[in-house]
Chain A
Amino acid sequence: LSLSFVLFSLPLWMLISAPPARYGGRHTVTLIPGDGIGPELAKHVCELFRFCCVPVDFEVVNVDSTKTSEDDINNAIMAIRRNGVALKGNIETNHNLPPSHKSRNSLLRTTLDLYASVMHSQSLPGVRTHHRNIDIITIRENTEGEYSSLEHESVPGVVECLKIITRTKSLRIADYAFRTAREKGRRRVTAIHKANIMSLGDGLFLECCKEVASGYPEITFNSMIVDNTTMQLVSRPQQFDVMVMPNLYGNVVSNVCAGLVGGPGLVPGANYGENYAVFETGTRNTGKSIANKNTANPTAMLLASCLLLDHLKLHGYASMIRKAILSTITDSQLHTADLGGKGSTSEMVQSIMDAIQSSGPRTQRH
């Protein structure tokens, strides 16, 4: 009954102004549940989308992380090439297997050339943290750097791992960062590096950032060494606006930022490439220890699905869901264990659906 109420009462503009989708006005999105809490969160996303009558059909592709063959991940990559967008959970990597078994997540990112990993860490009302008023966008180069997976043991007991920095990719990510800053009206971009030690590699990265910065005179550009950055982040995180960095530092800094605003359960992440976009939780955790216990915080994954909707230009649905999520978060009674509460995943999702229903289409026009 409630479903038809929502469908019938939606304003016409929401039904007809969605961008032309290939199959009868609906978008097909690849869904990779992944491991740990991935499957249960994916289920909640489907549930929520069905409830809101979002014109998205999910094509579920499972990737079995226990298999050594790369067929599963190749299927997933093919599906994403077909659909253009995906929502994914983290696929576990058994790091005790030999180096020939590469991280599935990494394979996906590099094969599809999802060169920018973007995470927006914002202090949320109702979530208690050590710091307030944080609003940082971290833009991390996602395909090269320390994650090049080029290692060899030329002499027994001596392992070399290559970190590759190229001019093309550094220019590309720097340009992405400045374009994003301009689009979102942000005022400062900080490049994170360790060029005092790795003068050639990080030096090249920094040079590329400076070059791109000259084309955006309205945006202030500065740089900071990565160890000082982490120190500044834990003492005065409000000084940062947009941060751009190579792969590994991006991993560290984005995790610090996520921790500062309340943890892995709250922050969504997006991976953008020239032709494809993949959405997931910002800190990419499998959450093995809390899987199937109905205690995971669904916020990060649900906000990631809103980012997905924005990408598909379904902004109406995105804002509606996002508003409901934020209003639910302020109610500490519903907080899940990671936020210090005793609430369950399903209770949170139900509350979000209730919020959407009650703030119905009549309030949309305001």
Chain B
Amino acid sequence: SILCNKTCVCPASQIQTVTLIPGDGIGPEISNAVMKIFEAAKAPIRWEERNVTAIRGPGGKWMIPPDAKESMDKNKIGLKGPLKTPIAAGHPSMNLLLRKTFDLYANVRPCVSIEGYQTPYTDVNLVTIRENTEGEYSGIEHVIVDGVVQSIKLITEQASKRIAEYAFEYARNNQRASVTAVHKANIMRMSDGLFLRKCREAAEKYKDVKFTEMYLDTVCLNMVQDPTQFDVLVMPNLYGDILSDLCAGLIGGLGVTPSGNIGANGVAIFESVHGTAPDIAGKDLANPTALLLSAVMMLRHMGLHGHAKKIESACFDTIRDRKVLTKDLGGNSKCSEFTEAICQRMKDMD
């Protein structure tokens, strides 16, 4: 399987339970679309729906509802729709809370050009692996004196080692030829220097995978000229945030980009990374592609490659055909029509 470090022992005939978090805005309708498509594909998945709106636990600390946590801990695999970030609700972002609760340390985004959805770039095929727990997003800021603010970027040996080893393991398990560490060690000598050292140490243990290092600005410069030269990229939090969105832009945006988050203890949550789109919520106009491709990533993680391939092909064929497409893909169809077209294709395949 692609994301575990050991082969998954889940026979295809056994039904597996997955925690489903529909999310807000267009979340529920795209989750329904995915469930319908999975049913048509006869995938051996049982969905356990849970809500993750933050509640105050004992001691006043914000946490996710206990039944949601219990379900994730039991099932280990989750699929999540977009969650809205409240501005004045008092509690932190839900995505942040999930990340902290399950120690989701790696964010993996495979970016592959979609045939039928044209962008100025073709043949993009790369993966961005972003450290998701520390770095510039530690949230530690102080006002030193009035008018002078200090934000702290934290890089630790442990987290850098973990993400570096994960990146090489991923490359090996997915037959990727090289891993590139993205950094700015010429300026941030100690912090990015530490990150780079850990990547070099991990590279020693995986001699079958080629290792290169490149400055962040050089990667950006080359990425927009020729993205085909990149394979797997591993980097700290901020650079990962910027680069993964840049790469998503190359293939068509967040509406078609899958994403997976790997946590400690074998937990993995796959999600669509677009927003909740409150302006089109409930109007049957949403594009379920991002969530669907994330669900396909999930199937591969679970070892269900046959079903993954079937659903992915049906989705890509429908897009390539350009007859039934949602508005953001350039068409005029409804979400339900797009979903139905994919289901029909799978029925025809059988």
Q: Is B203 part of the contact surface with A, judged by Cβ < 8 Å?
A: no
Q: B154 contacts A158, CB within 8 Å? A: yes
- Please tell me if the beta carbons of B220 and A263 are within 8 angstroms of each other in the complex: no
A200 to B136, CA, bound (A): 13
A200 B149 Cβ-Cβ under 8 A: yes
Q: Give B116 Cβ to nearest chain A Cβ, in Å.
A: 17
Given A159-B156, A161-B190: A200 touches B141 (CB 8 Å cut-off): yes
Give the total of B residues in contact with A, Cβ under 8 Å. Answer: 56
Q: Are A158 and B157 in contact (CB under 8 A)?
A: yes
Q: Are B221 and A264 in contact (CB under 8 A)?
A: yes
Chain A residues whose C-beta falls within 8 Å of the C-beta of B152 in the assembled complex? 160-163
| A249 / chain B contacts, CB cutoff of 8 Å | 242
List the one stretch of A23-31, A70-78, A223-231 in contact with chain B.
A223-231
Using known A-B contacts A95-B186, A160-B154, A231-B246, determine if residue A151 contacts B141 with beta carbons closer than 8 Å.
no
Q: Which residues of A contact B146 (CB under 8 A)?
A: 167
In the assembled complex, the CB of B343 is this many whole angstroms from the nearest CB of chain A, namely 30
In the bound complex, residues from chain B placing their C-beta under 8 Å from that of A226 are: 241-242
* Contact residues of B between 245 and 284, Cβ < 8 Å to A: 245-246, 248-250, 252-254
Q: Is the CB of B249 within 8 A of A230?
A: yes
A211-219, A232-240, A269-277, A325-333: which lies at the interface: A232-240
Q: Which residues of A (75-117) have their CB < 8 Å from a CB of B? A: 93, 95, 97-99, 101, 103, 106
Q: How many residues of A contact B (CB 8 A)?
A: 61
Q: Report chain B residues within 8 Å CB of A157.
A: 156-158
- Is B54 in contact with chain A by the CB < 8 A criterion? no
| Given contacts A200-B151, A201-B149, A256-B221, A228 and B186 within 8 Å (CB-CB) | no
Interface presence of B188 (CB below 8 A): yes
Chain A residues with CB under 8 Å of B220's CB are 230, 252, 255-256, 259
Interface string of B166-177 (1 = CB under 8 A from A): 000000000000
A230 touching B154, Cβ below 8 Å: no
Q: In the complex, how many angstroms separate the beta carbon of A6 from the nearest chain B beta carbon? A: 37
The complex places the Cα of A285 from the Cα of B45 at a distance, in Å, of: 52
* A98 CB, nearest partner CB in chain B, Å: 7
| Residue of B with least CB distance to A284 | B217
Query: Is B62 on the interface with A (CB-CB < 8 A)?
Result: no
User: Which residues B175-204 have CB closer than 8 A to chain A?
Assistant: 184-191, 193-194, 196
Residues of B contacting A147 in the complex (Cβ-Cβ under 8 angstroms): 187
Instruction: State the CA gap A58–B119 with chains docked (Å).
Output: 47
- Give the nearest-CB partner of A149 in chain B: B187
Q: Report how far A17 CA is from B261 CA in the complex, Å.
A: 65
Which A256-282 residues sit within 8 Å CB-CB of chain B? 256, 258-260, 262-264
| B88 interface residue (CB < 8 Å to A) | no
Is B310 part of the contact surface with A, judged by Cβ < 8 Å? Answer: no
Question: Does B147 touch A at the CB level, under 8 Å?
Answer: yes
Q: How far is the CA of A256 from the CA of B216 in the complex (A)?
A: 11
Is A234 a contact partner of B187 (Cβ separation < 8 A)? Answer: no
B218 at the interface (CB under 8 A from A): yes
Tell me the B119-164 residues at the A interface (CB within 8 Å).
Answer: 119-121, 136-137, 139, 141-143, 146-158
Q: A147-B187, A200-B141, A251-B216 are in contact. List 20 more A-B contacts (CB 8 A).
A: A97-B189, A129-B225, A146-B184, A156-B157, A157-B158, A158-B154, A159-B154, A166-B148, A167-B148, A196-B85, A230-B243, A231-B245, A231-B248, A234-B224, A235-B119, A249-B242, A251-B217, A255-B217, A256-B223, A256-B224
Q: 12 A-B contacts, Cβ less than 8 Å apart? A: A103-B187, A151-B190, A153-B190, A159-B191, A163-B150, A198-B136, A201-B150, A204-B149, A230-B220, A235-B249, A259-B221, A259-B222
Query: Which residues of B does A touch, CB under 8 Å?
Result: 85, 119-121, 136-137, 139, 141-143, 146-158, 184-191, 193-194, 196, 216-218, 220-225, 238, 241-246, 248-250, 252-254
